[in-house]
């Protein structure tokens, strides 16, 4: 984080400046075919462990292994259809809709429709391969 130190006669105070993130980092994805993950904030691109923010673009027919992560995941669909399978059934999340999965909850994501899906995922704490706990 960028920090400017300002000194006055009576005390010193710290002023935090915004962190500019010029571009995302491409991160390897799990699944039966390539999916594009562009991480803006997280362990890879910004060294942030508290939260990750990534834009996902998955092709038609993509699906990933089931998982039971240790983090909250908030997902907002921008285009297409994202299917979220869970222990109690299945959700179809369309553009303008969102879904939240809690830590320890088993889920599996897929994009079965012809246009695939585009969505933003926010994980608290940040996504980590060590805490996602994917099915074998």
CATH code, domain carrying 38: 2.60.120.10
Q: For residue range 56-109, what is the model confidence (pLDDT) as tens digits?
A: 999 999 999 999 999 999 999 999 999 999 999 999 999 999 999 999 999 999
Which domain range does residue 104 map to? 22-132
Q: Is residue 29 part of a domain?
A: yes
Using 50, 70 and 90 to split pLDDT, how confident is the model at 5? very low
Residue 123 CA to its chain's centroid (Å): 5
Whether 94 maps to a domain, the answer reads: yes
Asked if residue 98 is part of any domain, the answer here is: yes
In a domain, 3, yes or no: no
- Residue that has been written with the tokens 């834009």 in this structure: 55
Residue 71 lies in a domain: yes
In a domain, 117, yes or no: yes
For residues 119-134, average pLDDT? 97
Q: What is the pLDDT of residue 7?
A: 44
Q: Is the pLDDT of residue 1 over 60?
A: no
Q: Look-up: residue for tokens 């926010």?
A: 122
Total-model pTM: 0.87
The number of folded domains in the chain is 1
Kindly give, in sequence order, each residue whose CB lies less than 8 Å from that of residue 73, ignoring residues fewer than 6 positions away: 100, 101, 107, 121, 122, 123
Cα–Cα distance, 92 to 43 (Å, whole number): 29
Residue 16 lies in a domain: no
Task: Answer yes or no: is 6 within a domain.
Answer: no
């Amino acid at each position: 984080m960028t920090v400017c130190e300002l000194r006055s006669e009576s005390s010193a105070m710290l002023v935090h400046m915004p962190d500019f993130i010029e571009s995302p980092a491409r991160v390897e994805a799990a699944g039966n075919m390539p999916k594009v993950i562009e991480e803006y904030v997280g362990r890879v691109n910004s060294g942030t462990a508290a939260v990750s923010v990534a834009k996902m673009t998955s092709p038609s027919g993509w699906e990933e292994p089931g998982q039971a992560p240790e983090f909250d995941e908030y997902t907002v669909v921008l285009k297409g259809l994202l299917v979220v399978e869970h222990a109690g059934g299945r959700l179809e999340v369309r553009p303008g809709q969102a879904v939240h999965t809690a830590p320890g909850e088993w889920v599996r994501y897929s994009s079965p429709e012809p246009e695939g899906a585009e969505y933003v995922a926010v994980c608290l704490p940040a996504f980590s391969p060590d805490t996602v706990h994917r099915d074998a």
